[in-house]
């Protein structure tokens, strides 16, 4: 009896061990598969049948560039897989539009498997044949996508508008010659009656104004519209023999390497164009304007805050795309973000849209992103984070000045009644009085070195090259007008370290005046002197990504004491 029980326990233990071994091997296999998975930029998921109902099998993972390369070696092109309509390749596979479930399914199976079968018959390497359903319909594909989002930023847009390879197709009414601007090559409006697109001069908007992430009854998805227009245009230019044209393969837009090359060419084109050239040309878009509220609703409480003088041209130069500020349409922020909030603006009030610190598209949020750059983060990482700007900073943007603006009875000046050219002139006048260059005290007022003796029992006294550090921080800001505006007052730069000394004080308080030695238990929120020094200096070095001295290199600041 006892022997049987032992055998039973042994068998049970062996069974558990076997199960664990199997699961371990399976887990190991999955791990290896994931580790060895190919990273592709041309991975396309074909799930077209989903629009007809629940999928019978998993979607197909299709490698587009791999197939394109194969076709090229066989002296074939896009028309092998795509039909052509009005001289343009249709992005859908072997059809102009989806018809019935059975017909679409047959198109894929007949043409994909048929092509593979023909290649196999010729003894060539090819894809899955008839019956190997799971080879294409794989729920766990062996490849993963590394596709980066494509996009048309301001610089790339400028390269398109300034190239001679894309002349306008329209004639000027006055001269009868082709227009100098070529906006009609891409921009269009949709006529609901004729169900066709047409060019409307002066009404050029962003692609996303009409093309949503997903297709609607009236417009294609943003992705499909971009591929239809961009790829076809690039392909047409290539067929004409243009030497340098845009990409027609996935990796040409969506790989990190291609995007780096495009960025370099963009930078070169902008530098060659010069400072006075507008990268984005939009009808009626001024270089300068006033950001102000729309006319308040009847009975609404007047808003007393002064408008902001906004340099649109300067901001355009310092952002990659209009969508850095705008959402779908390039219209005034106040059109959707009203003082009280509206449905069109997601009920985000104008004040919030401009000042929300965590929003990338708000003024404050965008400026905070700049503060996070290493050359700025050394100081700004030390400052207390604010949900709203400091009150002293308000006047940096809301420039005070005597503007001749008509006022309505009981209301603030009617900035909304000003014409665009009047707003531009007013903004220019206000900006004349605003400093845009960082200022500091004279060199003689900045101590060359500061000797710190708090650790003299263990190390030699530490000498901090104070003046060198201050001048380096000023050097980091010289090309940024935004930094200049907010650091125009002497002493502002000192605030990151001397955080409790009023701005403008030439001789700030010493650290020991507030940070006791040792730590004061009665003031737990105030670190001791040693902790204050290390917290300030080491955090700054880390935030600025300084390699010498590293924030962990003790002897880089404290020389070992001679015995």
Q: Tell me what pLDDT residue 409 has.
A: 60
Separation CA 292–CA 413 (nearest Å): 10
> Domain spans of the chain?
36-145, 154-273, 288-296+304-390+414-432, 443-557
Q: Tell me what pLDDT residue 390 has.
A: 65
36-145 and 154-273 have identical folds:
yes
Which residue spans within 414-543 are E strands per DSSP? 450-452, 462-464
Distance of CA 202 to the CA centre of its chain: 27
Separation CA 454–CA 519 (nearest Å): 13
Separation CA 382–CA 332 (nearest Å): 35
Percent of the chain with pLDDT over 70: 90
Q: Tell me what pLDDT residue 411 has.
A: 60
Query: Mean per-residue pLDDT for 83-95?
Result: 92
Query: Mean per-residue pLDDT for 507-533?
Result: 85
Separation CA 342–CA 365 (nearest Å): 21
Structure token digits, residue 344: 């069109």
The three-state secondary structure class of 332 is: coil
Separation CA 535–CA 227 (nearest Å): 52
- Least confident window among 231-235, 321-325, 359-363, 405-409: 405-409
Q: Tell me what pLDDT residue 47 has.
A: 93
How high is the mean pLDDT of the chain? 85
* pLDDT tens digits for range 402-448: 777 777 665 667 888 888 899 999 999 989 888 888 888 999 999 99
Tell me the pLDDT band of 7, cut-offs 50, 70 and 90: very low
Separation CA 523–CA 513 (nearest Å): 14
Judge whether residue 391 has pLDDT over 80: no
Structure token digits, residue 20: 């664990």
Separation CA 187–CA 194 (nearest Å): 18
Q: Which CATH architecture has domain 36-145?
A: Alpha-Beta Complex (3.90)
Separation CA 350–CA 305 (nearest Å): 12
* pLDDT tens digits for range 110-121: 999 999 999 999
- Are 298 and 410 contacting, i.e. CB atoms less than 8 angstroms apart? no
Q: Please provide residue 450's backbone torsions phi and psi, each rounded to the nearest 5 degrees.
A: -125, 125
Taking alpha carbons only, the member of 42, 258, 69, 259 closest to residue 147 is 42
Query: Mean per-residue pLDDT for 462-478?
Result: 92
Q: Tell me what pLDDT residue 192 has.
A: 87
* pLDDT tens digits for range 513-522: 888 877 788 8
Q: Tell me what pLDDT residue 34 has.
A: 36
Tell me the pLDDT band of 401, cut-offs 50, 70 and 90: confident
* CATH number for the domain formed by residue range(s) 154-273: 3.90.10.10
Fold of 288-296+304-390+414-432: Cytochrome C3 (3.90.10)
Tell me the pLDDT band of 21, cut-offs 50, 70 and 90: very low
Judge whether residue 295 has pLDDT over 50: yes
- The 10 Å Cβ neighbour count of residue 295 is 12
Query: Mean per-residue pLDDT for 51-77?
Result: 91
Tell me the pLDDT band of 382, cut-offs 50, 70 and 90: confident
**Which class does domain 443-557 fall in?**
alpha beta
- Least confident window among 74-78, 200-204, 335-339, 381-385: 381-385
For strands 143-145 and 38-40, give the pairing: parallel
- Least confident window among 18-32, 117-131, 165-179, 525-539: 18-32
């Amino acid at each position: 009896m006892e022997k049987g029980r032992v055998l039973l326990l042994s068998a049970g233990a062996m069974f558990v061990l076997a199960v664990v071994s199997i699961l371990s091997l399976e887990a190991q296999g999955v791990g290896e598969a994931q580790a060895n998975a190919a990273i592709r930029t041309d991975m396309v998921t074909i799930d077209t049948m989903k629009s007809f109902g629940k999928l019978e099998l998993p979607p197909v993972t299709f490698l587009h560039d791999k197939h394109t390369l194969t076709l090229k070696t066989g002296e074939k092109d896009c028309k092998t897989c795509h039909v052509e309509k009005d001289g343009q390749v249709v992005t859908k596979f072997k059809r102009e539009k989806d018809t019935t479930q059975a017909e679409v399914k047959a198109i894929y199976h007949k043409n994909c498997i048929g092509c593979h079968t023909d290649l196999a018959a010729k003894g060539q390497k090819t894809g899955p044949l008839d019956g190997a359903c799971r080879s294409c319909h794989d729920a766990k594909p062996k490849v993963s996508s590394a596709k980066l989002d494509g996009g048309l930023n301001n610089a790339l847009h400028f390269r398109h508008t300034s190239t001679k390879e894309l002349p306008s197709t329209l004639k000027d009414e006055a001269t009868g010659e082709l227009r100098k601007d070529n906006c009609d090559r891409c921009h269009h409006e949709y006529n609901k009656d004729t169900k066709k697109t047409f060019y409307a001069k002066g009404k050029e908007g962003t692609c996303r104004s009409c093309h949503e992430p997903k297709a609607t009854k009236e417009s294609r998805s943003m992705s499909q519209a971009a591929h239809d227009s961009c790829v076809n245009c690039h392909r047409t230019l290539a067929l004409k023999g243009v030497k340098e044209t845009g990409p027609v393969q996935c990796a040409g837009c969506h790989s990190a390497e291609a995007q780096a090359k495009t960025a370099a060419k963009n930078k070169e084109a902008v530098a060659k164009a010069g400072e006075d050239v507008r990268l984005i040309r939009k009808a009626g878009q001024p270089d300068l304007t006033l950001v102000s509220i729309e006319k308040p609703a009847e009975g609404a409480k007047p808003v007393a805050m002064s408008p902001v003088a906004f340099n649109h041209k300067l901001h355009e130069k310092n952002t990659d795309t209009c969508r850095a500020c705008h959402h779908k349409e390039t219209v005034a922020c106040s059109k959707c973000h009203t003082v009280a909030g509206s449905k069109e603006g997601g009920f985000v009030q104008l004040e919030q849209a401009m000042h929300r610190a965590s929003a990338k598209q708000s003024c404050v949020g965008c400026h905070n992103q700049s503060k996070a750059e290493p050359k700025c983060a050394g100081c700004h990482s030390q400052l207390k984070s604010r949900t709203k700007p400091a009150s002293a900073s308000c006047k940096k943007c809301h420039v005070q000045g005597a503007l001749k603006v008509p006022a309505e009875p009981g209301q603030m000046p009617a900035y909304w009644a000003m014409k665009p050219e009047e707003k531009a002139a007013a903004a220019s006048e206000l900006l004349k009085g605003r400093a845009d260059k960082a200022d500091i005290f004279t060199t003689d007022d900045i101590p060359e070195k500061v000797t710190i003796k708090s650790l003299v029992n263990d190390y030699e006294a530490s000498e901090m090259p104070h003046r060198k550090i201050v001048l380096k921080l000023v050097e980091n800001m010289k090309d940024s007008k935004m930094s200049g505006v907010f650091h125009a007052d002497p002493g502002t730069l000192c605030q990151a370290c001397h955080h409790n000394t009023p701005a403008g004080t030439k001789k700030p308080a010493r650290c020991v005046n507030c940070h006791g030695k040792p730590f004061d238990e009665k003031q737990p929120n105030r670190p001791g002197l040693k902790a204050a020094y290390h917290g300030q200096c080491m955090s700054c070095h880390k935030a600025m990504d300084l390699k010498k001295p590293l924030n962990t290199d003790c002897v880089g600041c404290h020389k070992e004491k001679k015995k």
